[in-house]
């Protein structure tokens, strides 16, 4: 059964205070990443335990596989000028094998095929719009190219709900972040340290890496600061986005690149054949796996491509037995996805009776939840 529009909004609401948003990472608070709190929900017994993330091994057994997203966040917000010297902002995402990027451009009327931009203090990096891939989404070629150039001309798209940017950009990366190209943070894996991952592997748990490049979403603060002008906004699936040139609301989630290697697929299939569980960390890794898994058998096929898969109540998971995620804001798409494992009423009950009263912290610098 699919959700109605009314269910997608009111059903996923709960009392929330912004004080529950973790503003600083564990390192700044004087603790380790793995010291985050962990709420464990057992769907079979309908029981809840309150632990620390470092206790995760208690709930995994030899033969299990832990799936994590190894995407690395890049400085994706590029401030520059167009051919007429007027300010523009470009948000790049989803790098292609030929070195080009997908991107959003504001002001939107600036975006036409062949338009050239200049970035950097001295305009030393040029960009050319090649063509429009879909409404409001363009292909951009940078010269010089390569991921490294973004560190010179770009800024990480930190979320607006953080009062200030992290002191160290590495705070906004996971310990597995080896594949540059994500615009946003695959935050569910932030709590892992190399030591914790090593102990899980010694325990007999396979750590399986997949890549899912989380795509761009505009944020109000950058536009106010850099463009100094009003833009027309649309609310699509709970996320504020600028409208395309023709006033058409941009889709969310927009297609995002994923890669599942032969090694990753083989390991997951072998573990399942031997009776092991597949524990998926984070919504992005989950969407990548559900995209490549066989509908009938649940077999994971290697491959790369694009997905805008939306998961929610009623979805039959093909490859995920347990789910590890952070705590999500009311009415968010991530909260709806998480409810596919429990049902919306049960998940909201846990939030109201266990998460909020016990002061769990939300979002990327907050705490974690394991659903078994």
* pLDDT tens column, 16-34: 999 999 999 999 989 999 9
Tell whether the model's pLDDT for residue 175 goes beyond 60: yes
Residues 190-232: tens digit of each pLDDT: 999 999 999 999 999 999 999 999 987 655 444 445 444 444 4
Cis peptide before 253 (omega within 30 of 0): yes
Counting residues of the chain whose pLDDT is more than 90, the rounded percentage is 72
Cα 187 from chain centroid?
7
Residue range 159-184: mean pLDDT, rounded: 93
Buried b or exposed e, range 295-319, using 16+ CB within 10 angstroms: eeebbbeeeeeebebebbbeeebbb
Q: Which one has a higher pLDDT value, 293 or 230?
A: 293
Predicted confidence (pLDDT) at residue 243 exceeds the cutoff of 90: no
pLDDT at 250 over 50: no
Which of 9-18, 166-175, 194-203, 350-359 has the lowest average pLDDT?
9-18
Cis status, amide bond into 107, omega within 30 of 0: yes
The mean pLDDT value for 53-61 works out to 98
pLDDT computed for residue 5 by the predictor: 45
Report pLDDT digits (tens) over 142-161: 999 888 899 999 999 998 88
Q: What percent of the chain clears pLDDT 70, i.e. is strictly above it?
A: 87
């Amino acid at each position: 059964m699919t959700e109605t529009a009314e269910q997608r909004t009111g059903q996923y609401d709960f009392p929330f205070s912004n004080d529950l948003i973790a503003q600083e990472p564990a390192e700044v608070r004087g603790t380790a990443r793995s010291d985050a709190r962990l709420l464990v929900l057992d769907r079979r017994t309908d029981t809840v335990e309150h632990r620390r993330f470092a206790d995760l091994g208690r709930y995994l057994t030899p033969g299990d596989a832990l799936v994590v997203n190894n995407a690395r966040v890049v400085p994706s917000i590029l401030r520059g000028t167009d051919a007429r010297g007027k300010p523009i902002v470009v948000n790049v995402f989803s790098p292609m094998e030929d070195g080009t990027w997908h991107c959003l451009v504001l002001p939107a009327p600036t975006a036409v095929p062949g338009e050239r931009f200049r970035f950097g203090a001295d305009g030393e990096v040029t960009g050319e719009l090649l063509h429009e891939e879909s409404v409001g989404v363009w292909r951009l070629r940078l010269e010089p190219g390569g991921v490294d150039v973004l560190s010179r001309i770009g800024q990480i798209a930190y979320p607006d709900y953080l009062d200030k940017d992290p002191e160290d950009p590495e705070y906004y990366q996971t310990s597995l972040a080896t594949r540059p190209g994500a615009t946003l943070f695959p935050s569910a894996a932030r709590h892992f340290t190399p030591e914790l991952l090593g102990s899980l592997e010694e325990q007999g748990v396979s750590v399986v890496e997949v890549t899912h490049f989380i795509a761009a979403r505009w944020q109000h603060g950058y536009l106010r600061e850099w463009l100094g002008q009003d833009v027309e906004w649309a609310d699509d699936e709970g996320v504020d986005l600028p409208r395309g040139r023709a006033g058409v609301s941009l889709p969310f989630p927009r297609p995002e690149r994923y890669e599942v290697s032969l090694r990753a697929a083989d390991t997951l299939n072998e573990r399942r054949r031997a009776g092991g569980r597949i524990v998926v960390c984070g919504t992005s890794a989950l969407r990548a796996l559900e995209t490549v898994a066989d509908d009938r058998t649940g077999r994971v096929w290697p491959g790369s491509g694009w997905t805008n898969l939306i998961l929610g109540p009623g979805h039959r998971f093909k490859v995920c037995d347990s789910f590890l995620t952070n705590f999500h804001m009311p009415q968010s798409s991530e909260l709806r996805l998480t409810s596919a494992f429990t049902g919306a009423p049960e998940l909201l009950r846990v939030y109201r009776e266990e998460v909020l009263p016990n002061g769990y912290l939300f979002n990327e610098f907050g705490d974690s939840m394991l659903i078994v």
